[in-house]
Amino acid sequence: MPTHLGQLSAKGKRFGIVVSRFNEFITRRLLLSAVETLKQAGGDEAALDIVWVPGALEIPYFCQKLSRKKYDAIIALGCVLRGDTYHFECVSNEVTRGISQVALETGVPIASGIITADTLEQAIDRTGLKAGNKGAHAALAALEISDLSQNFESPQRRKS
């Protein structure tokens, strides 16, 4: 039976990264790890476009904007921390839904590195401590899904 696996190579690929400034203490660590992961996979920093947005709710909109350019994949990075109100659930759900909707509507792969955490300590753990770095995880996912996506393109649409 045919099995398809994506390769973890960034050589010759372009990536867009949308990162939220809100909770920048966390998101900057996600970004640095994502960029380092892409570079270690043979990527060129000149082939990365980074867009900083005010908060997590703006991420899907700018993923859609970037999807109109020629990227192999887009990486979405943000951090939503639970507060004392229902706002956490609304933001978390809408960001996830928006990113998925953009990917499905545009056909551009989007890897999510959005941390949703109850506490700042949990978020910090997801930037390189107990749970690894979710920015690196998102970059690895972007590498894999961009390669898989190319493999499923029609021959006329594939890059030469």
Residue 5 inside a domain? The answer is no
Query: Does an H or E element contain 54, and which?
Result: none
d(CA 67, CA 133): 25
Residue 6 lies in a domain: no
Taking Cα atoms as reference points, which of 79, 27, 20, 70 lies closest to residue 49?
Answer: 70
Q: Is residue 10 part of a domain?
A: no
> Which stretches in the chain have pLDDT values below 70?
84-86, 129, 131, 154-160
In a domain, residue 9? The reply is: no
How many structural domains are present in the chain? Answer: 1
Q: Is residue 4 part of a domain?
A: no
Give the H or E element holding residue 100.
helix 87-106
Considering 87, 90, 118, 119, which one is annotated as catalytic?
87
Give the C-alpha separation, 33 to 19, whole Å.
12
Structural domain contains residue 81: yes
Question: What pLDDT score does 160 carry?
Answer: 44
Residue 8 is assigned to a structural domain of this protein: no
pTM reported for the whole predicted model: 0.90
Q: What is the pLDDT of residue 64?
A: 96
The per-residue DSSP string of 63-96 comes to: HHHHHTS--SEEEEEEEEE--SSTHHHHHHHHHH
In a domain, 155, yes or no: no
Q: What is the pLDDT of residues 8-28, one digit of tens each?
A: 888 999 999 999 999 999 999
Q: What is the pLDDT of residue 83?
A: 72
**4 given a catalytic annotation:** no
Per-residue confidence (pLDDT) for residue 90, from 0 to 100 = 86
CATH number of the CATH domain containing 23: 3.40.50.960
Which pLDDT score is estimated for 71? 94
Would you say 11 and 143 are in contact if contact means Cβ atoms under 8 Å apart?
A: no
